[in-house]
Amino acid sequence: MSRYWSSIVHKIVPYVPGEQPKLTNLIKLNTNENPYGPSPKVLEALRAEAADTLRLYPDPNSDRVKAAVADYYGLKTPQVLVGNGSDEVLAFAFQALLKHEKPLLFPDITYSFYPVYCRVYEIVYETVPVTEDLDIRLEDYQRSNGGVIFPNPNAPTGRSVSLLAIRELLENNMDSVVVIDEAYVDFGAETAVPLIDHFPNLLVIQTLSKARSLAGLRVGFAMGHPELIEALERVKNSFNSYPLDRFAIAGAAAAIADRAYFEETRQKIIRTREALMIKMRGLGFTVLPSAANFIYVRHPDRDALDLARRLRERSIIVRHFPLPRIEQYLRITVGTDEQCAALVSALAEILGQ
Ligand SMILES: Cc1ncc(COP(=O)(O)O)c(C=O)c1O
């Protein structure tokens, strides 16, 4: 606390990201990174970018990335905004589209950055409880609101909602913006991008951090009606003209263009996830259905935090959220087959099996 702080700083509660340990010999299954490296074509593009041109500012509009996204999804470039990770794109959306008199709605169990943005931008919000088995019921969002946001699949549960349910929500919610945070969509959920041309109030946000294995490069993007995108651009251009540096632009464009590598690695992760879920059930865990690159599990008679501590002693880190309703769950990122086998044998030992 300091008397020099602006008043808002006293009120905000910053987001705490998952641990990025300095030790390198850990099996890191705590922040939903991709266990496979990015496409070799991305690395090639980054190397080519290490040149004298770094003395020049990058393209403020990241047009190459916008064009790559538009091409991938069959959109036009004015329907795309690019930012420094989807966290930044989300921040723009909260400011530009979700601050109204009526409350913003989001699930009570969801990405814990949402209430942080609400406090920093002074947005009124209400949380909508997920069901007993942590499912989002979109019918519950059909009430007066200043906006709706949810991830699909949801984090940290991994559960997804259908495109049909999203369409129904949009049809009944034309007076405010619906933002779908599709950070994990490529691992098994249906993207809402095909609905963009039908609903001027739909904004879809994605990232290159997960299925395209570029968490370290920091690139995210939003897709929606050009008027929604213009609102985001106005906020972006009032904050930072160059959210993507030259490396990020080159790497992101190459990653989106390399469809074969993307397909191969995401399918590998999906296969490993399905095998891991079976093994975890075999160990007695309750495992929620997952359409993401992580699983959400609880053990009927073991304390989740204690399990996380014991895994850590064995150099495996997973994520535990000490929050109401979910304090007995662990979120475990799907690693390589070898990493998942090490996890399963560590758990078997801890459980005495
Ligand atoms: C649901 C969800 N949305 C957005 C993000 C942010 O991703 P990034 O800022 O790396 O694009 C995350 C990160 O884990 C997430 O879980």
Spatial strand order in the sheet of 80-83 = 80-83, 220-224, 202-207, 178-181, 147-151, 104-107, 125-128
What value does the mean pLDDT take over residues 97-115?
98
Please tell me if the CB atom of residue 204 comes closer than 6 angstroms to any atom of ligand 1. no
What value does the mean pLDDT take over residues 122-129?
98
pLDDT of residue 18: 84
Owner of token pair 């959920």: 189
Please tell me if the CB atom of residue 207 comes closer than 6 angstroms to any atom of ligand 1. yes
DSSP sequence for 14-33: ---PPP--S-SSSEE-SS--
- Within 78-176, residue ranges assigned H as helices are 85-97, 113-120, 163-171
Q: Summarize pLDDT for 246-259 with one digit per residue, the tens.
A: 999 999 999 999 99
What percentage of the chain exceeds 70 in pLDDT?
A: 100
Rounded to whole angstroms, the Cα distance separating 282 from 271 reads 17
Q: Residues with Cβ < 8 Å from 193, sequence gap 6 or more? A: 73, 75, 204, 223
Cis peptide before 58 (omega within 30 of 0): no
Tell how strand 286-287 and strand 294-298 pair up: antiparallel
Residue 316 pairs with which residues in a beta bridge?
A: 27
Residue nearest to ligand 1 atom 12, measured at CA: 183
pLDDT of residue 19: 81
Rounded to whole angstroms, the Cα distance separating 1 from 118 reads 21
The 10 Å Cβ neighbour count of residue 5 is 9
Q: Residues with Cβ < 8 Å from 184, sequence gap 6 or more? A: 32, 151, 153, 155, 158, 210, 211, 291, 292, 293, 294
* 20 CA distance to ligand 1 middle (Å): 15
How far is C-alpha 208 from the geometric centre of its chain's CA atoms? 9
Three-state SS at 289: coil
The 10 Å Cβ neighbour count of residue 222 is 27
Cis peptide before 17 (omega within 30 of 0): no
Please tell me if the CB atom of residue 293 comes closer than 6 angstroms to any atom of ligand 1. no
pLDDT of residue 179: 98
* Average pLDDT score, the chain: 97
Rounded to whole angstroms, the Cα distance separating 274 from 280 reads 10
pLDDT of residue 336: 98
What value does the mean pLDDT take over residues 257-265?
98
Please tell me if the CB atom of residue 153 comes closer than 6 angstroms to any atom of ligand 1. no
pLDDT of residue 313: 95
pLDDT of residue 257: 98
Three-state SS at 145: coil
Rounded to whole angstroms, the Cα distance separating 320 from 332 reads 9
Residue 16 in this model has a pLDDT that exceeds 90 = no
Residue 23 in this model has a pLDDT that exceeds 90 = no
* 4 CA distance to ligand 1 middle (Å): 32
Please tell me if the CB atom of residue 87 comes closer than 6 angstroms to any atom of ligand 1. yes
Per-residue confidence at 162, pLDDT binned at 50, 70, 90?
Answer: very high
Please tell me if the CB atom of residue 147 comes closer than 6 angstroms to any atom of ligand 1. no
Q: Summarize pLDDT for 134-148 with one digit per residue, the tens.
A: 999 999 999 999 999
Rounded to whole angstroms, the Cα distance separating 302 from 201 reads 44
Q: Summarize pLDDT for 48-105 with one digit per residue, the tens.
A: 999 999 999 999 999 999 999 999 999 999 999 999 999 999 999 999 999 999 999 9
pLDDT of residue 170: 98
* 164 CA distance to ligand 1 middle (Å): 24
Please tell me if the CB atom of residue 85 comes closer than 6 angstroms to any atom of ligand 1. yes
Q: Among 87, 185, 321, 331, which residue has the most ligand 1 atoms within 8 Å of its CB, making it the best to mutate?
A: 87
Owner of token pair 């709706």: 148
Q: Summarize pLDDT for 175-202 with one digit per residue, the tens.
A: 999 999 999 999 999 999 999 999 999 9
Reported as type and span, the H/E element at residue 223 is strand 220-224
Amino acid at 320: H
pLDDT of residue 49: 97
Q: If we measure between CA atoms, which residue out of 262, 214, 193 comes closest to residue 46?
A: 214
Residue 230 in this model has a pLDDT that exceeds 90 = yes
Supply the DSSP symbol for 41. Answer: H
Rounded to whole angstroms, the Cα distance separating 153 from 7 reads 36
* Stated pTM of the model: 0.97
What percentage of the chain exceeds 90 in pLDDT?
A: 95
Per-residue confidence at 21, pLDDT binned at 50, 70, 90?
Answer: confident
Residue nearest to ligand 1 atom 13, measured at CA: 183
* 172 CA distance to ligand 1 middle (Å): 27
pLDDT of residue 226: 98
